Amino acid sequence: MTMNAASYSSVVSHSAFRSLDTKLSPSSSGIPSLIRVTCHSDCNKSTSQASLLLCRSSNNGWKGMLGGASSWDTLPRRNLIGQTSYSVSTTTYGGVAIESPSHIAEEKVGVLLLNLGGPETLNDVQPFLFNLFADPDIIRLPRLFQFLQRPLAKLISVLRAPKSKEGYAAIGGGSPLRKITDDQALALKEALDAKGLSSNVYIGMRYWYPFTEEAVHQIKRDGITRLVVLPLYPQFSISTTGSSIRVLQHMFREDASLSKLPVSIINSWYQRQGYIKSMADLIEKELQSFSEPKEAMIFFSAHGVPVSYVEDAGDPYRDQMEECIYLIMQELKARGINNEHTLAYQSRVGPVQWLKPYTDETLVELGQKGVRSLLAVPVSFVSEHIETLEEIDMEYRELALESGIKNWGRVPALGLTPSFITDLADAVIEALPSAKAMYASTSTSEEEHDLLRYLVKMFFGSILAFILFLSPRMITAFRNLI
């Protein structure tokens, strides 16, 4: 399979953004939020425990500010202050003029980075898990039972928290994802500056501070006039990029000014040459750490999703992941690297069927087949976090060695790899010209119809819920889930 340069940027226009309404559940979150990245303000203006404004001297990152009525009542509140803005002059990229004439001094370009988020302390673990399982794109309940989402999330998060705390304790007491994403945001801003594009770079985490909702509120306050949304997930999945987009859909649909904001969403970017070459560079380098580099099997471990996401909901994740592996291996073969490789999926939870083969089972099978050298490649992740530092580096490494694999290596996440950051900057610039307003105003009749439909579902769902909870099968499923 070959791809030309034009195919490397996968940009979702406003019409494609609207089309996701038919596939993704409506947002259940009501959190107002705030976050941004800048180097043009005084970092000492923050009144929080950490710095609001990301500068080179900031080591602790920053927390978000919750304002108004919040349905996420398990979360602590952080209060921050500070203001920053940028202007953009007339710039042309690849023959396409970005609509920011020099006489319009207030034109501002924003870039919103989306990521998962992670608990920064052990006390954050349970509320973080609650946010995770309260997401209808993570636990997909039938519509009649969606009102049970939060009670179920509360139950699961309380029961799973002790085990999860052990994992986070093993990697230092919290997730490094926020600090790494801070650094990536700053590096991206500097790369865009170097290419002649001044911008505000914002961070929106899905399940912990700084929340996606926070970033959107700050984007509005800063008067951004053109926005590029860049998920830090190479491949699209309903449970990652799709979930964050659902939050954006809800906010932009309900806000008259946001609905008119020109936006481009980079839906996935696993097929970009810059990403493929960056991954190949890391793999090639790590292979040299083996005494016999040609004998090492390249073991791609991707985050799994339930099979139902792919087969029932049309999630393109599996296809994109397989294509991604193909492209990386083609690049390696072009460099004379012809090692054997395989792909498996990690991090499954609950009683449902997930994408196969499973990472743990595959490691055992490879050891039994006589594989002695293995290089693990965390292909779903561009930042180190618990699934690389604890699950792969500790759990899977130990399992591999116990299964007969003698030589273990692991490719680091892309992180701040210069070629990777440069390619993200190129993706942003390529996406800017396609930015368009996403929504028209929602009519009153449509809102009334949606409310009536919701009340009917709640009534019948309540009746069926009591029947369901009395089912022994349901009780067994709960036990398997936790």
C-alpha R_g of the chain: 23
pTM above 0.85, yes or no: no
Q: Is 387 exposed, middle or buried (0-12, 13-18, 19+ CB in 10 A)?
A: buried
**Looking at the DSSP assignment, which residues form a beta bridge with residue 228?**
111, 264
- Averaged pLDDT, 115-137: 96
At 382 the pLDDT is: 97
- 327-367, pLDDT tens digit by residue? 999 999 999 999 999 999 999 887 789 999 999 999 999 99
- 213-272, pLDDT tens digit by residue? 999 999 999 999 999 999 999 999 999 999 999 999 999 999 999 999 999 999 999 999
In percent, the amount of the chain with pLDDT more than 90 equals 65
Instruction: Indicate the SS3 state at residue 297.
Output: strand
Label residues 129-154 b or e (16+ Cβ within 10 Å = b): bbbbbbbbbbbbeeebebbbbbebbb
At 351 the pLDDT is: 79
Provide the pLDDT confidence category of residue 95 given band limits of 50, 70 and 90.
very low
- 18-62, pLDDT tens digit by residue? 444 433 333 333 333 333 333 333 333 332 222 223 333 333 333
Per-residue DSSP letter, 440: P
- 259-304, pLDDT tens digit by residue? 999 999 999 999 999 999 999 999 999 999 999 999 999 999 999 9
- Whether residue 166 is predicted with pLDDT greater than 70 in this model: the reply is yes
At 352 the pLDDT is: 86
Listed ranges 3-7, 50-54, 469-473; the one with the highest mean pLDDT: 469-473
The gap between the terminal CA atoms of the chain, to the nearest Å, is 42
- Residue 42 tokens read as 């005084």
At 467 the pLDDT is: 59
Listed ranges 70-79, 184-193, 453-462; the one with the highest mean pLDDT: 184-193
Average pLDDT, the chain: 79
**Looking at the DSSP assignment, which residues form a beta bridge with residue 226?**
109
351 vs 97, residue with greater confidence: 351
At 454 the pLDDT is: 63
At 118 the pLDDT is: 97
- Residue 299 tokens read as 């073991």
- 451-467, pLDDT tens digit by residue? 666 666 666 666 665 55
Helix (H) or strand (E) holding 6: none
Instruction: Indicate the SS3 state at residue 348.
Output: coil
Provide the pLDDT confidence category of residue 141 given band limits of 50, 70 and 90.
confident
**Looking at the DSSP assignment, which residues form a beta bridge with residue 407?**
373
Query: Which domains does the chain carry?
Result: 109-270+420-438+446-478 (3.40.50.1400), 273-414 (3.40.50.1400)
